[in-house]
Structure 1
Amino acid sequence: MEHLAKHSPHHAWVLAARPRTLPLSCASILLGSGLAAHAQAFNPTVLLLALLTAMALQVLSNLANDYGDAASGVDNEKRSGPLRAVSSGLLTPKAMRSGMFVTATVAALFGLLLLLAAFGNQWMQILIFILLGAAALLAAVTYTVGLGGAPYGYRGLGDIAVFMFFGLLGVLGTYYLHTHELNWLPFLPAAACGLLATAVLNVNNVRDIESDARCGKITLAGRLGREGAIMYHWALLGLALVLTLIYLVVLPVPLLGWSCLLVAKPLTDAARTLRHTQDGKVLTNMLKNTAFSTLLYSVLLSIGLAYF
């Protein structure tokens, strides 16, 4: 384990916030904004505030995950992943709860500013999105911190939440904030983005499959077993690429937009690594590569749509 003495309080909070996860939280926002740009309804203020809100929610989720996994005993010396702040003693549970409250408040403020920028005085739409935002806040906290029961992340439901919030709701919600309308075609890239984000979670869960099982944390990867989880991973990638191909052909999208398919190579390379190694450090690097590829997918497709 890393030597704890070199971590200042500032570094402890950076460690808990996990800044390397923030680009993935931006993927759905960027893609939804690219779809809006294609519809000639792009609002830069909405993009900026949506990114700030998404990143605040991601940090909140990371803090809650650090706190919840330490409380449940999932984070311990046998864990394969990076050092965690509460379980290592760098931050106390009380300090982490305070950090979660502050981060939730910041996320709520950014969210309200976002809704005012998007809808002005259209209070019914603002109310609907406030409810969606409250659901996102609740989901961020209760992934590993249960309310009156086991956290849903410990019951194999994390994949569904990631698919919804990093895919359908993230992309389509952002698209609607820009355009104030929906149609069926954006569902295809939104679902593809959610599937790729779910693949990132699956890498994390496969890496930790043994340590999670010892502590009673039930993930979908744990239910499927290692071999089943690897097959599931290939299914996520394959379906995401098929949905993207359908979208590119039906729209149709010019050659620049097709560049998003370049991520197929790093994604499949990482998936092969998942089958051939159980080394925690290697799988952590694979997780980073899969997350970066998901972000790159959204950026390349968004650029192609914006200049179409």
Structure 2
Amino acid sequence: MSVHNWLAAVRLRTLPLAAASVLCGVLTAALQHRSSFTVSALCLLTALSLQILSNLANDYGDARHGADTAARKGPSRMVGSGRISPATMICAVRLTAAVSCLLGIALLAVALPAISAAQPQSWLLWLLIGAAAVAAAFAYTAGKKPYGYMGLGDFAVLVFFGWLGVLGTEYLHTGRLNAASWLPATALGLWCVMVLNINNMRDIDSDRRAGKNTVAVRLGLRRAKIYHTVLLAAAAAAWALWLPLYFNGSLLLLNAVLPAVSLVHLNLLKKSQSSSELDKLLPQWSITVLLWILLLWLAAPHYG
């Protein structure tokens, strides 16, 4: 079977978001002078595995529920186009879920003894969180009642890419939650929601026909763009509140880059009317999110 087909199913251009989420959490931990290469690496591998699981399950689920048809715009989906059979894809989904579980257990085995020796019950909590992440990755479009078809995907992205991805990574390094870290966690989560919203604006016609009632479908294209602007503004506000807490030496640079990136993106969105134009914004914004986190690492007082 073609490697190209599997790379297309994995959707490499979505992986920067999973990486950005973990790297942001590692950064907030490092700013508190707590870091572990092993924990960071396992967090990253677990997040990437969960993202791949979600992408494969989405390919399978959208084909099963009729959202991936010949009329759909954007990159071809492997099950919907017949390049990968449903049976083969579901086997890949199960295998990836198993890998995600093993990586998650390895992560907990490394992180929890060091940060919560006095709280053995935290094992159960983190196992439940991990199980919820795996279940959510599958149920987004592949479950019997996929929540992505109910318009709940945006909230799930905020929770798993923002709050859980960033704060969870930080906690596994530090053993505690820093109240200030809710700001970058929320900001990053909202940026990731924007990626999903671009995807849903691109697919608005085919999703509507398939009964996939995303936020973009419910709002319509014009109001979905307004919603997108609100997400961007809220994220920018959260970043602007957090940056002065840690980045005094590079605050001027970061405060110049943040609005510039936001305004460029909004201008590109305004000009994007067709599905193909919206599709080009997906990798652009995903890479931008990752580059911003890398810039924060370079600008951080102990790492720049």
Normalised by the size of structure 1, how large is the TM-score?
0.92
Matched, 1:89 2:89: no
Kept in 2: contact 1:260–1:297 (CA 8 A)? no
Paired position in structure 1 for 2:50: 57
Whether the 8 Å contact between 1:60 and 1:103 is mirrored in structure 2 is yes
Q: Per-residue deviation at 1:77?
A: 1.1
Return the letter of the residue paired with 1:75: D
CA shift, 1:228, in A, is 1.1
- Of the three residues 123, 126, 143, the one matched with 1:129 is 126
CA contact (8 A) 1:193 1:298 kept: no
Deviation at residue 143 of structure 1 after TM alignment? 0.4
Identity %: 44
The answer to which of 100-109 and 112-121 deviates more is 112-121
1:25 paired residue number: 18
Asked if 2 retains the 8 angstrom alpha-carbon contact of 1:35 and 1:302, the reply is: no
Q: Is the CA contact (8 Å cut-off) linking 1:259 and 1:301 kept in structure 2?
A: no
1:230-268 C-alpha deviation (Å, 9 max, x unpaired): 11111111111111111122x142333665552543443
Alignment-derived partner of residue 141 in structure 1: 138
Give the whole-Å Cα distance in 1 for the aligned partners of 2:71 and 2:237.
38
Show structure 1 runs of 5+ residues with no match.
1-7
- Partners of 1:200 and 1:186 in 2: how far apart? 22
Which amino acid in the other structure matches residue 21 of structure 1? T
One-letter code aligned to 1:204 = N
- Against the structure 1 CA distance between its residues 258 and 131, is the aligned structure 2 distance closer, same or farther, given a 3 Å change threshold? farther
1:178 corresponds to: 173
- CA spacing shift, 1:188–1:9, aligned 2, 3 Å: same
Matching residue's letter, 2:126:
F
CA contact (8 A) 1:257 1:302 kept: no
CA contact (8 A) 1:104 1:137 kept: yes
After superposition, residues 110-125 of structure 1 pair within 5 angstroms as: 110-120=103-113, 122=117, 123-125=120-122
Alignment of 1:140-219 (within 5 A): 140-147=137-144, 150-219=145-214
TM-aligned CA deviation for residue 11 of structure 1: 1.7
Which residue, 89, 92, 95 being the options, matches 1:99? 92
Q: Which residue of 1 aligns with 2:31?
A: 38
State the superposition RMSD in angstroms: 1.6
In the TM superposition, what is the alpha-carbon distance from 1:206 to its structure 2 partner? 0.8
Determine if contact 1:163/1:197 at 8 Å carries over to the other structure: yes
Q: Give the Å deviation of 1:272.
A: 2.4
Work out whether 1:253 is the aligned partner of 2:266: no
- Matched residue, 1:226: 221
Compute the displacement of 1:26 (Å): 0.9
Provide the TM-score with structure 2 as the length reference: 0.93
Number of aligned residue pairs: give it: 298
SS of equivalent to 1:120:
helix
Q: How far off its partner does 1:211 sit? A: 1.2
C-alpha separation between the residues in 2 aligned to 1:34 and 1:306? 11
Q: Which runs of 5+ in 2 are unaligned?
A: none
Distance apart, 1:294 and its partner CA = 1.2
Cα distance between partner residues in 2 of 1:306 and 1:136:
33
Question: Relative to structure 1, is the Cα distance of residues 54 and 258 closer, same or farther in structure 2, using a 3 angstrom cutoff?
Answer: farther
Contact 1:263 1:293 in 2 (8 A): no
